[in-house]
Amino acid sequence: MPVRFIMPRPLTVPAVLLAAARIVQAQGLWQGDYVPDPLDREMTVPHSARPMSLVAAIKCAVSGDPHRTSQLADTAIGFLALSIGGGPTYGDIFSLEAHVEAWGDEPGRTGDDVVRMLELAATAPERAA
């Protein structure tokens, strides 16, 4: 009888960032929307198994769904936003999320770049910027 092992959800911001790094590393970075084909017009793969944007990977690490928001995901996004290029102009969650997405969507940005940034922010927050 096969046994299915489910990884426990992270409970701290560093754990969320490391889990998001593993998601991007395994599934790839998606630039643009949260996931490719978000309206499922062409793909039948679950959203949680597709390449993801940086913000979607953080949300998925916490909830298992790249579209579901949570207080912990928002806190991790805010922490990361303040670690990237001096932070956004405004401090609301939409500005924080847009700042993180803009960094991940820069032309030439790779999944390896995102993984390195997430790992650095998670393991050495004072040096993340």
CA angle 88, 86, 76 (to 5 degrees): 65
Q: Domains of the chain: which residue ranges?
A: 13-32+48-127
The answer to whether the pTM exceeds 0.95 is: no
Q: What is the pLDDT of residues 54-71, one digit of tens each?
A: 999 999 999 999 999 999
Mean of the per-residue pLDDT values of the chain: 88
Residue holding tokens 């790249």? 66
Cα(78)–Cα(1) distance, integer angstroms: 43
Single-letter amino acid, residue 112 = D
Ranges 10-14, 47-51, 70-74, most confident: 70-74
